Structure 1
Amino acid sequence: MSSTGDLTAAPAEFLTALAALRRAQCRPELSLAELPAPAKLAPYAVALEAVVTGSATGLAEDPETELATGRFILLYDPQGQDVWGGHFRIVTFIRAELEADIGKDELLGSVAWTWLVEALDNHCTGYRNAGGTATRVLSQSFGTMSGNQDAINIELRASWTPDSADVQSHLEAWSEMVCTFAGLPPLPDGVLSLPHRRN
């Protein structure tokens, strides 16, 4: 697993966190790959990208359809940062496309945030200082593409501070949430669900 920062001189706490990420058991429908980590947010960082496609789920006619995508970034500053309230910070992004009639639900943003909180709680992660935004983006087609159905993307940007370097459960919780955005059952008890139909 690659990361920013000189790993030969990396603090043991960051190396412990990297080892924890490697142990994470993610759902098989999720394709996980490394990304170049941002270099300016913290002295050390690692970034992962997740994709759930129709071929992995059977939820879309086109097997190449991306049902949900996401990014997971673990930041580490040996000095800590006051705004984080600790040495680590997890920054995430998840995006999925919904049918327009579902995406127009006024509660969609709060449901997306609930998915995050429930996923973290269901995986028994210790965390604090969680915050984020849920955004609905309406895509309308015109002219020669006017026959296409309107679509709404739901995007969730969130971050939180893990209580320790043992971040395995955080990655597992986040990967479960990406699958939830993709419309994959089953959901853990207590997680709110929206119908996620695909043509």
Structure 2
Amino acid sequence: MTALSALRQADCRAEMHLAEIPAPARLAPFAVALSAEVFEPSTAGHGSLHGPAAAALAEARTLGHNEDELATGRFILLHDPQGSDLWKGTFRIVTYIRAQLDAAMGNDQMLGSVAWTWLLDALRENEARYSEAGGTATRMLSQSFGSLQKRAETIDIELRASWTPDGPDVRAHLEAWSDMVCTFAGLPPLPEGVTALPLRRRN
């Protein structure tokens, strides 16, 4: 099974809007990149839009009309047939996930550790074998001033991570990442023993 066919066969969660995007250049001889967005149920009904409808939705998001977005992410699969001493293999997965939380939850000092644990748990539960995993969790405070001062403070949690899959069969890795994006969005069902993040409150 090739890596690309494995990605196509991945069974990702229906709540997640997944699309192929241009892969970053210069990171590896070969690469494929996917983007994901999770929206509240009120907008999840859009499904896979095409033509003018898709263009209109994309324009609305560009203009900042994306208040129903719960989480966003990127999944990049890199391949170097010659192998990499840094990766300890010929493939490398690089991911990014971001979600906005209530300020109270975002101030939890353990939030970064919890986010990293969720990633490892998702890989294990999907039986995605890997090595050389590393990552960074960041909390970003957003405060509004002037005419926007009535907006409540919010905190974004951002997880950037990478790992080396055990071979080209990366289907389970994409499925694990899909679970992670939805976990960040606070959507059930969740892996046993995992608690959903409280969603950002909207006025």
- Output the TM-score relative to the length of structure 1: 0.87
Q: Which residue is equivalent to 1:159?
A: 162
Displacement after TM superposition at 1:190 (Å): 3.7
Determine which of 68, 71, 88 is the counterpart of 2:71. 68
Q: Which residue is equivalent to 2:16?
A: 30
Counterpart AA for 1:30: M
After superposition, the Cα gap between the structure-2 partners of 1:73 and 1:63, relative to the gap in structure 1 and judged at 3 Å, is closer
CA contact (8 A) 2:184 2:197 kept: no
Q: Which residue is equivalent to 1:8?
A: none
- Output the TM-score relative to the length of structure 2: 0.85
Q: Distance in 2 between matches of 1:64 and 1:110?
A: 27
Within the alignment, does 1:114 sit opposite 2:97 as a pair?
Answer: no
Q: Distance in 2 between matches of 1:198 and 1:186?
A: 20
CA contact (8 A) 2:101 2:157 kept: yes
Q: Which residue is equivalent to 1:5?
A: none
CA contact (8 A) 1:70 1:94 kept: yes
RMSD: 1.6
CA contact (8 A) 1:26 1:172 kept: yes
Q: Which residue is equivalent to 1:133?
A: 136
Q: Which residue is equivalent to 1:77?
A: 80
CA contact (8 A) 2:183 2:197 kept: no
Within the alignment, does 1:41 sit opposite 2:44 as a pair?
Answer: no
Displacement after TM superposition at 1:39 (Å): 1.5
Within the alignment, does 1:168 sit opposite 2:171 as a pair?
Answer: yes
Within the alignment, does 1:50 sit opposite 2:44 as a pair?
Answer: no
The Cα offsets for residues 84-143 of structure 1, whole Å up to 9 and x where unpaired, read as 000000000000000111111111100110110000000001100000000000000011
Aligned residue pair count? 181
CA contact (8 A) 2:96 2:160 kept: yes
The Cα offsets for residues 166-194 of structure 1, whole Å up to 9 and x where unpaired, read as 00000000011000000001211243544
Q: Which residue is equivalent to 1:104?
A: 107
Equivalent residue of 1:21, what SS? helix
Q: Distance in 2 between matches of 1:161 and 1:191?
A: 25
Q: Distance in 2 between matches of 1:194 and 1:140?
A: 20
CA contact (8 A) 2:128 2:173 kept: yes
After superposition, the Cα gap between the structure-2 partners of 1:64 and 1:144, relative to the gap in structure 1 and judged at 3 Å, is closer
Identity rate, percent: 66
Q: Distance in 2 between matches of 1:85 and 1:157?
A: 19
Q: Distance in 2 between matches of 1:198 and 1:74?
A: 34
Equivalent residue of 1:84, what SS? coil
